[in-house]
């Protein structure tokens, strides 16, 4: 608790420096410090007073803290530190953790390991997938240029045709253009875990609305993505993917918004 109290005091006073941060690779100190300052700027310091749990293993200590309750958006974070020669160093903070410190004995059947809520696992799946896609985009952009990289990441015509075929065969009750829209909504909501509203669907037009789309929330909350790709390039990956898919199903697509609310507006080609 002495570590936690000193850390919070430095953060509250704006005195925490990059020298007190030793982040695991590939994380670096400066983005971690910027993230902490962002949190400090909107902190209710009463919530930082007492962690709900402290986990100590070797020279590592992790504090589990729930923040944001007074803003009606509570979220539980882990703050991880290393202690070396009596001096602590902040390593990272994270909004997702797997509670495997609760395993009581080994050997253990992994099917009985502590789990996470399904909403959290949706986020984890998407973060893993899109982090790898960004890594691939950056590699391709260096090798063949951004235009080719966007096409590759989107899957181009092949991906669009494959997505459309999946919609047709898994929802065989309607013509392809309608099955595509219905599959899009089901896949994004049920497989991706996102908030999706089908606002309109007929033979000529369709409107799909996303609320707090995980794809863009990942960019805002995951510091490693901001270090690896610009927001403009990240947005274009999203737009290219959906335009290729829409085209394969016989739709033209217009995209409105790039923040908390996004509309996909489809019209027949």
**What is the 3 state secondary structure string of 98-149?**
CCHHHCCCCCCCHHHCCCCCHHHHHHHHHHHHHHHHHHHHHHHHHHHCHHHH
Provide mean pLDDT across the span 106-121. 83
Burial class (CB in 10 A: 0-12, 13-18, 19+), 146: middle
DSSP state letters, 201-269:
ESSSEEEEEEES-HHHHHHHH-HHHHHHS-HHHHHHHHHHHHHHHHHHTTEEEEEE-SSSEEEEEEEE-
**Closest residue by Cα to residue 124 from 149, 86, 98:** 98
* Range in 39-48, 129-138, 145-154 the model is least confident about: 145-154
Residue position matching structure tokens 């253990």: 108
The pLDDT, as a whole number, for residue 17 is: 95
The SS3 call for residue 91 is: strand
Q: How far apart are CA 1 and CA 63, in angstroms?
A: 9
- Whether omega for the bond prior to residue 26 falls within 30 degrees of 0, making it cis, is yes
Return the sign of the alpha-carbon dihedral for residues 103, 104, 109, 113.
negative
Is the pLDDT assigned to residue 258 strictly greater than 70? no
Give the pLDDT confidence score for residue 159 in this predicted structure: 74
Nearest to 95 by CA among 71, 111, 73: 73
What pLDDT, on the 0 to 100 scale, is given for residue 70? 80
CA quadruple 30, 216, 25, 13: dihedral sign: positive
Beta-bridge partners for 262: 210
- Token pair, residue 59, equals 């020279």
Can you tell me the distance from the alpha carbon of 255 to that of 207, in angstroms, rounded to the nearest whole number? 10
Domains of the chain: 2-100+107-115 (3.10.450), 119-268 (3.90.1520)
How many alpha carbons lie under 13 Å from residue 153 in its C-beta half-sphere?
Answer: 30
Mean pLDDT of the chain: 89
Distances (CA, A) of 22 to 106, 173, 192, 250: 31, 56, 33, 52
Helix (H, G, I), strand (E, B) or coil at 30: helix
Whether 3 shows a pLDDT value over 90: the answer reads: yes
> Is the pLDDT at 106 greater than 80, yes or no?
no
CB distance 50 to 65 below 8 Å:
no
Judged against a pLDDT cut of 60, whether residue 156 lies above it is answered with no
pLDDT range class, residue 81, cuts 50, 70, 90: very high
In this predicted structure, the answer to whether residue 195 has a pLDDT above a threshold of 90 is yes
């Amino acid at each position: 608790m002495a570590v936690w109290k000193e850390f919070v005091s430095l953060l509250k006073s704006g005195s925490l420096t990059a020298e007190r941060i030793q982040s695991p690779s590939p994380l670096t100190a400066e983005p971690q410090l910027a993230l902490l300052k962002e949190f400090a700027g909107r902190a209710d310091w009463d919530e930082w007073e007492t962690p709900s749990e402290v986990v100590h293993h070797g020279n590592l200590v992790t504090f589990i803290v729930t923040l944001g309750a007074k803003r009606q958006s509570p979220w539980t974070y882990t703050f991880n530190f290393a202690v070396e020669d009596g001096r602590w160093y902040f390593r990272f903070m994270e909004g997702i953790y797997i509670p495997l410190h609760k395993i009581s004995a080994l050997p253990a059947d992994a099917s009985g390991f502590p789990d996470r809520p399904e909403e959290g696992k949706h986020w984890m799946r998407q973060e893993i997938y899109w982090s790898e896609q960004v890594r691939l985009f950056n590699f391709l952009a260096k090798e063949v240029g951004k235009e080719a990289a966007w096409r590759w990441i989107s899957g181009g015509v092949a991906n669009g045709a494959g997505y459309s075929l999946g919609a047709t065969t898994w929802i065989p009750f309607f013509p392809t253009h309608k099955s595509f829209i219905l599959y899009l909504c089901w896949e994004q909501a049920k497989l991706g875990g996102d908030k999706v509203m089908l606002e309109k669907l007929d033979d000529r037009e369709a409107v799909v609305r996303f609320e707090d789309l995980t794809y863009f929330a990942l960019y805002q909350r995951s510091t490693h993505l901001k270090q690896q790709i610009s927001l403009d390039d990240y947005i274009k990956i999203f737009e290219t993917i959906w335009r290729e898919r829409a085209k394969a199903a016989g739709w033209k697509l217009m995209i409105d918004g790039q923040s908390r609310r996004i509309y996909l507006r489809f019209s027949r080609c």
